[in-house]
Amino acid sequence: MFDDLDPQEFEDTARTVIESCAQAPSAAERGKLLAEAGLLGVIAPEDVGGLGLSTRFAAPILRAAGEGCLAYPLIETLLLSKALADTDAELAARICSGETVATIAWLGTDAGADLGGAPMGCQAEHVLIFSADGTAVLAPIANAVRAVETHSFDIDVPEAEIHVSGAFKGVELDLATVEKLRSDARMLRAAFIHGAAANCLKMASDYAQDREQFGKLLSANQALRHRLSRDALVLETMRNAIIRAQSVRDDDVEMARNAAWLCSAQSGPAIAESAIQVFGGMGFTWEVPLHRHLRQMRAQARYGGAALELDQLGDAIIAGTANPWYAEIADAA
């Protein structure tokens, strides 16, 4: 039915809508604008109001969201509208339509009293809480489940701590659904960070070609040109990793998704920091959104546990004579 759709068209639409979202006063208003454009249900099944497309079509939307510093829990909305379709179609439809704002507590499980990393938890009506056994429950935020705003890397999408003070009920997601949700989250995060990093590099390049110091353009500085060229190469590597992750099949899918995710989580913030250095002190002001991009990328890396996964990958490479990334190491001692 949608064979003739082009993912690039979704990015163009998303970019226009996200520009409008910047003027909207609340998360509910931004959700309404995104839903009217059909962006919240891109990967949700058609019977809950979605389009039933693959993450290949969601990636361009997330890229535009990263580029535009979108202040809405878009990744969580896309994931939940899809994951809930089989267990609570009515709630999935409300999330697709922007009528209900839902989020995910990415840090911690119900084995602890407090959980963290819930983007816009204080404005959401439901929060997904992971269980220690790998399943999850989407619980309404009320009574036993409270959201308390906390210090956050991301000032556009402030996170909340989720305090659980007793037994709670909600829509249960099984282990397979949660594993699929986490896998899709890696792809969407990688695309979001790629968009944010691309905007940082563009702003730095434009600034270097406009700004003069000591009678010369900044771009006349060879060291700075090398820095920007290196960042452009890294950005292209990120893009290729995401494209590859969307094209491989079967057993290679998770490996390719992990590669795209870890590449973005590691390289995106580095590009933003490099751009801030090009701007100098201006890079930290509110007139220049570079630090907002950096905060959003750092927050996504934290929600996805990138630091831990990189450590685990390093340990696996050091400890073994073979690993899933490079196959057999012939000369290992």
Domains observed in the chain: 1-100 (1.10.540.10), 101-173 (no CATH), 176-320 (1.20.140.10)
Contact assessment for residue 288 and residue 206, using Cβ atoms and an 8 Å cutoff: no
Is residue 332 predicted with pLDDT exceeding 60? no
What length is written for the chain? 333
pLDDT for 113 equals 65
Which residues are registered as beta bridge partners of 115? 162
User: What's the pLDDT tens digit per position in 103-149?
Assistant: 999 999 888 767 889 999 999 999 999 999 999 999 999 878 999 98
Closest CA to 65 of 246, 195, 205, 182: 195
Residue 159 has phi, psi (to 5 degrees) of: -90, 165
Residue 265 CB neighbour total at 10 angstroms: 25
**Secondary structure (3-state) at 113:** coil
Residue with tokens 């073994």: 320
Q: Which residues pair with 301 in a beta bridge?
A: none
Contacts of 84 by beta carbon, 8 Å cutoff, 6+ apart: 48, 91, 92, 95, 138, 171, 173
**pTM beyond cutoff 0.95:** no
Asked if 35 contacts 81 with a C-beta cutoff of 8 angstroms, the reply is no
* Gyration radius of the chain's alpha carbons: 20
Cα torsion 38, 40, 45, 49: sign: negative
- Whether the Cβ atoms of residue 273 and residue 294 lie closer than 8 Å to each other: yes
Model pLDDT for residues 214-269, shown as the tens digit of each residue: 889 999 999 999 999 999 999 999 999 999 998 887 778 888 999 999 999 999 99
Cα 121 to Cα 101: distance, rounded to the nearest angstrom? 9
